[in-house]
């Protein structure tokens, strides 16, 4: 008697993966962005960033095509990952991942993980671990997501005594960025004594960097947050959140954070102070900006009162290397480190190669 052929499994009817058991995964931070290692299939593990406001994954095309060249034309594609290993411990299957050309070029990660898939989630910056399917610790103050905003990752905070709706930055290093509408409604422009106007390479005003007074989240206070006040046209990044601004990881790392988007859960965050005391990644402390990013950076703007100029950097110089994490590609972040940090640069000026050390200073 002939054997009965096996029936093919309809992928649309494949049962969803079982909820992950509580387990800690390693948590790294590079250039202000948190990440953990991800192994897709039999390929080598790569760092993937952590996206608090998404269910799906995104990755650079090189993750799926080793022959992919940076800058190559490629359409965005939706893929299904049969098996992934997160942080060397958590196994997941049938993961939706978008191949996103150019999005992660120059970044310290190869993609990002949609963390909503693993809610509830605990980010412990002190122990550098991320625990999935974790219950909130007892005694932590909680804050529900704003249900009046269609993006559910928006929280109500108090900023310098005024109410403010902030979206949890999906993959966002800045500490705090406020929309044009909120800045105008609250009369924040030119209000703060410690401030600096910022312009793009064409001289257009883009935002004002300021030191504010205090930010209150669920009864916890963060003093002297540095913020971007946007000017001009609405910022698409903020407009999509339907909020007054975005709070990024550099401020979120000041709190150990429990996040729960589930309809059956708390649908909000619980917070406790962490021991992370680094200065916010919110202002350039060198007075320098670049026209191009990559292995070679050209100085496109230079404040003649800033530390870079005073150290010998000149407009048009090409930075071919930097003695910082990530080399020249990590320079933009390194220039925001605390005042007093020394940043060695290898400069090409015409045919001359120079070594210049820039000592960062507070400029607000």
Averaged over 72-88, what is the pLDDT? Answer: 86
Task: Please tell me the CATH code under which domain 288-359 is placed.
Answer: 2.30.42.10
pTM: 0.72
Residues of the chain with CATH 2.40.70.10: 19-132, 142-273
Domain 142-273 - what CATH class?
mainly beta
| Residue 219, strand partner residues | none
**pLDDT tens digits along 289-336:** 776 545 578 887 787 878 999 999 998 898 888 887 767 666 766 776
Buried b (16+ CB within 10 A) or exposed e, 256-273: bbbbbbeeeebbbbbbbe
CB 281 within 8 A of CB 175: yes
Range(s) within the chain of domains with CATH label 2.30.42.10? 288-359
pLDDT tens-place string over residues 90-144: 999 999 999 987 778 777 889 999 998 998 999 999 899 999 988 888 999 999 9
pLDDT tens-place string over residues 53-66: 788 899 988 888 88
What single string gives the DSSP state of each residue in 239-290? Answer: HTTTSSEEE-HHHHTTEEEEEE--TTS--EEEEEE-S--PPPS-S-SS-EEE
pLDDT at 158: 96
The percent of residues in the chain predicted with pLDDT above 70, rounded, is 81
How far is residue 140's CA from residue 144's CA, in Å, rounded to a whole number? Answer: 13
Q: Which of 71 and 86 is assigned the larger pLDDT?
A: 86
Q: Kindly give the residue spans of alpha helices, DSSP state H, lying in the chain.
A: 180-186, 236-239, 249-252, 307-311, 331-334
* Band (40; pLDDT cuts 50, 70, 90): very high
Assign domain 19-132 to its CATH superfamily. Acid Proteases (2.40.70.10)
């Amino acid at each position: 008697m002939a054997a009965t052929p096996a029936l093919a499994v309809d992928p649309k009817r494949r049962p969803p993966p079982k909820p992950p058991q509580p387990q800690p995964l390693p948590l790294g931070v590079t250039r202000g962005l948190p990440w953990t290692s991800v192994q897709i299939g039999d390929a080598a593990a790569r760092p993937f960033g952590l996206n608090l406001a998404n269910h799906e994954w995104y990755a650079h095309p090189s993750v799926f095509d080793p022959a992919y060249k940076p800058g190559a034309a490629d359409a965005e594609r939706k893929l299904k990952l049969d098996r992934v290993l997160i942080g060397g411990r958590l196994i997941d299957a049938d993961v939706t991942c978008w191949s996103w050309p150019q999005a992660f070029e120059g970044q310290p990660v190869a993609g990002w993980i949609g963390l909503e898939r693993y809610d509830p989630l605990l980010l412990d910056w002190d122990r550098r671990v991320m625990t999935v399917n974790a219950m909130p610790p007892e005694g932590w103050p909680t804050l529900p997501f704003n249900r009046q905003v269609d993006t559910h990752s928006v929280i109500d905070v108090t900023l310098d005594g005024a109410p403010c709706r902030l979206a949890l930055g999906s993959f966002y290093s800045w500490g705090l960025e406020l929309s044009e509408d909120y800045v105008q409604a609250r009369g924040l422009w030119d209000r703060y004594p410690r401030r600096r106007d910022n312009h793009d390479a064409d001289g257009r005003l883009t935002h004002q960097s300021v030191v504010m007074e205090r930010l209150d989240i669920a009864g916890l206070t963060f003093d002297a947050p540095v913020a971007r006040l946007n000017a001009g046209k609405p910022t698409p990044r903020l407009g999509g959140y339907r909020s007054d601004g975005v709070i990024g990881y550099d401020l979120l790392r000041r709190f150990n954070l429990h996040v729960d988007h589930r309809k059956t859960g708390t649908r909000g965050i619980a917070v406790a102070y962490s021991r992370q005391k680094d200065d916010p990644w919110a202002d350039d402390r060198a007075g320098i900006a670049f026209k191009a990013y990559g292995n070679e950076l050209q100085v496109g703007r230079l404040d003649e009162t800033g530390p870079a100029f005073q150290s010998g950097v000149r407009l048009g110089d090409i930075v071919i290397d930097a003695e910082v994490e990530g080399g020249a590609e990590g320079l933009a972040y390194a220039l925001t480190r605390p005042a007093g940090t020394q940043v060695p640069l290898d400069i090409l000026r015409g045919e001359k190669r120079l070594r210049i050390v820039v000592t960062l200073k507070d400029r607000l």
